[in-house]
Chains A and B, each alone.
Chain A
């Protein structure tokens, strides 16, 4: 049981390049989330999904797009990377009912030069 797996773990981009972060969970969770964490800060919600085929904006959605074509996967895309998007990105998932305890991935460290 792998839980929440994020790929890649590290990536360096040049300004203007595009990339996709993949989040995969094997717990059959309905909800999935993408957060970013900047140095010395808490986590901020970028986008989230309540089910396959549905996505919604969080607190800081600008510059990012997401897709959830399969229940187990949640993709975060950067179409034109900017230095301000240098951050550590965390994916999380949870069941829809009950206390919705979040399970987090190990994080993806992105540097935009």
Chain B
């Protein structure tokens, strides 16, 4: 099963870019990388996903290495409200659907 590795915690100054790394060296060729975040104990919130190309939306940018073994989530101008646990997830197929394995994520603290 595809697994991901993330640093347990990171700090970022408010207004600066937050770069959150993720290693997914066992990813298969046709599987997406997803990023979610969880603020306090709320339900995880979808941020972005990608397959091979870099992606950008209103929340963040996702940079995927050419060999697809790692990726970086970029929050371009972090705010205090971005303090959360960020999960990098790779899904894998099982019994007609997909399983999403959540690790312990990266706890990002944005500092004033």
Residues of A within 8 A of B (CB): 4, 31, 33, 35, 37, 40-45, 48, 50, 56, 58-59, 88, 90, 92, 96, 99-107, 109
Contacts and interface: CB of A to CB of B under 8 A. Distances in A.
Contacts of A92: 43-44
Contact of A100 (B42, B43, B98, B103): B98
| Range of interface residues on B (Cβ < 8 Å) | 20 to 34
Given A48-B97, A56-B95, A107 B103 contact: no
A43 B49 contact: no
Interface of B: 32, 34, 36, 41-46, 49, 87, 91, 95-105
Secondary structure of the A contact surface, majority rule: strand
A42 B87 contact: yes
Contacts, number: 59
B107 to A, nearest CB: 10
Given A99-B32, A100-B91, A101-B34, A41 B104 contact: yes
Given A56-B95, A56-B97, 16 more contacts: A4-B43, A40-B104, A43-B102, A44-B102, A45-B100, A45-B101, A50-B96, A58-B99, A92-B43, A99-B34, A100-B91, A102-B46, A103-B46, A104-B44, A107-B43, A109-B41
Given A41-B104, A43-B102, A107 B41 contact: yes
Contacts of A102: 34, 36, 44, 46, 100
A101 B46 contact: yes
Nearest to B45: A104
B43 A104 contact: yes
